[in-house]
Amino acid sequence: MKAHLITYGCQMNEYDSHLVQSQLVSLGADMVDSIDAADFVLINTCAVRGKPVDKVRSVLGQLRKEKALRPLVIGMMGCLAQLEEGQQIARKFEVDVLLGPGSLLDIGKALESNQRFWGLNFKDELHDHIPPPPTGKLQAHLTIMRGCDHHCTYCIVPTTRGPQVSRHPDLILRELDSLLGAGVKEVTLLGQNVNAYGFDAGAKLAGYPSFAELLRMVGASGIQRIKFTTSHPMNFTEDVAAAMGETPAVCEFVHLPVQSGSDRVLRRMAREYNREKYLTHIAQIRKHMPEAVLATDIIVGFPGETKEDFQETLSLYDEVGYDSAYMFIYSPRPGTPSYQHFQDLPREVKTERLQRLIAVQKDWSAKKNARFQGSVQEVLLRGDAYSEGHLEGHTRGNHPIVVPKALGAVGAGLYQARVTATTPHMLYGELVGVDGQTLPMVPNFLPEAAALSSPLTML
């Protein structure tokens, strides 16, 4: 079998794709990198907004045409697959294999059966399963929990991924060990709401650490960099900020989605915190980790959001001074309370607000990134080329950074880089060291490096 896997959605989906890919390989499949070369195409889907659903529809349309011309098995997995909406789409586009996010380990059974196979159960084995480490990668995801116990009124995730189930710490540490053994240097702990780890349905699980304790345990493993996502402000506690500050491997990066700066909107979203409480968390993070790079998620144009409400989002942005933000136009999702009960705002209102927010974000990101000019940052180079002569990587603060190749910098690894230019989206630098040692310098000031280092060329 020649299998091609397409992944949409968040890092949880990337992790799940890796897991399913390793199952496919162990079943004897060859992974190929185009639809044309495949006889099994599997799409890992996202349902969080309308756009990713439209994308799946269009790829499935293309696949259905292919299937009329040659033998082709079509598979759909992930969040959309779990929804009635997704199952309708699957029927329409003649999908053969459909696996919800809890049924991924059924992939073998699904491919063996000679008829349509739909798996929609949430099975515990998924938690016990330790996928093999990604080959040749220094960065890896590690799922510490699945599902979500919150009920934000706009969000479909609790429906697609079910209630929160924390993974046993022994399994997490075993998976971490296997990653370490494979040479992984940076791990991102994943969950819809990692701060609630160990408290499923609101109750403390016996034998499970809290998230703060888990951070310390992972920090003691010898891994060099730890990131985690996502944090829900409602479950954020100061001991998490303290554990971050006291665990050297935990990177100076926090993604704390705020969604809105208006208390009225936050109430209507059922976010269970207000602006003041949120700002307390930011203050705690800054107290324990003064260098923390702060990122957030914001939804603009939530139903009923007034000009004044939106103004409060802009003012909160200024008050926090975020380094970066993921900004989304509210997308009504069938099956969510806000879809059912609230009237969507006109498209023009939503896009105009998004434009204004993006302008504020760009200003802040430009200012925040400029503070790194001239500094030396620890960079994890992924090893793939950004362009000929340049490599791409990430700092501890999660900034993408591009550096010209230097002698001794043969590819993937942890390096020190001096930042030579910044834009709102990116840092540019030159390699100055590897593993704490100074690099033998070469004239790495190639003409194209000079061009790339100019922020203006990126506009």
Query: Given the rule CB under 6 A, which residues bind ligand SF4?
Result: 148, 150-152, 155, 157-158, 192-193, 232
Q: Is 152 annotated as a binding residue?
A: yes
12 binds ligand F3S (CB under 6 A): yes
Alpha helices in 77-187 (DSSP H): 79-82, 84-92, 107-112, 125-128, 157-161, 169-181
- With CB under 5 to 8 Å by kind, the binding choice for 333 among ligand SF4, ligand SAH, ligand F3S, none is ligand SAH
Nearer to ligand SAH, 4 or 255 (CB): 255
As given in the structure block, the two tokens for residue 435 are 């593993």
Nearer to ligand SAH, 82 or 259 (CB): 259
Nearer to ligand F3S, 210 or 229 (CB): 229
Looking at the DSSP bridge assignments, the partners of residue 62 are none
261 binds ligand F3S (CB under 6 A): no
257 binds ligand SAH (CB under 6 A): yes
Which of 30-38, 46-54, 104-112, 429-437 is the region at the interface with ligand F3S (rule: CB under 6 A)? Answer: 46-54
Nearer to ligand SAH, 12 or 426 (CB): 12
Phi, psi at residue 281, to the nearest 5°? -65, -40
Nearest distance in Å: CB 133, ligand F3S: 22
Instruction: Map residues 151-180 to x or -, x wherever contact with ligand SAH holds by CB under 6 A.
Output: ---xx-x-----------------------
Nearer to ligand SF4, 234 or 446 (CB): 234
For 337, counting Cβ atoms within 10 Å of its Cβ (0-12 exposed, 13-18 middle, 19+ buried), the class is middle
b/e per residue, 347-362, with b = 16+ CB within 10 A?
eeebeebbeebeebbe
In what side-by-side order are the strands of the sheet with 186-190?
Answer: 139-143, 186-190, 225-229
Closest to 20 in 3D by CA, of 36, 10, 38, 7: 7
Cα separation, 403 vs 135, in Å, equals 24
Cα separation, 238 vs 156, in Å, equals 29
As given in the structure block, the two tokens for residue 232 are 């829900």
Cα separation, 3 vs 34, in Å, equals 9
Quick one: which of 90, 299, 316, 431 contacts ligand SAH (CB under 6 A)?
A: 299
Long-range contacts from 22-26, C-beta under 8 angstroms, 24+ separation: 22/131, 22/132, 23/104, 23/105, 23/107, 23/108, 24/107
Nearest distance in Å: CB 246, ligand F3S: 30
98 binds ligand F3S (CB under 6 A): no
Quick one: which of 4, 67, 333, 399 contacts ligand SAH (CB under 6 A)?
A: 333
As given in the structure block, the two tokens for residue 258 are 């705020």
- With CB under 5 to 8 Å by kind, the binding choice for 13 among ligand SAH, ligand F3S, ligand SF4, none is ligand F3S
- Residues 6 or more apart in contact with residue 274 via CB below 8 angstroms: 263, 266, 267
- With CB under 5 to 8 Å by kind, the binding choice for 190 among ligand SF4, ligand F3S, ligand SAH, none is none
Q: Is 251 annotated as a binding residue?
A: no
Cα separation, 141 vs 227, in Å, equals 9
Residues of the shown chain interacting with ligand SAH in the complex, contacts defined by CB under 6 A: 48-49, 148, 154-155, 157, 192-193, 230, 232, 257, 259, 297, 299, 328, 330-331, 333
Residue ranges of the annotated binding site for [4Fe-4S] cluster are 10, 46, 79, 148, 152, 155
Residue ranges of the annotated binding site are 10, 46, 79, 148, 152, 155
Residues of the shown chain interacting with ligand F3S in the complex, contacts defined by CB under 6 A: 9-10, 12-13, 46-48, 78-79, 157, 160-161
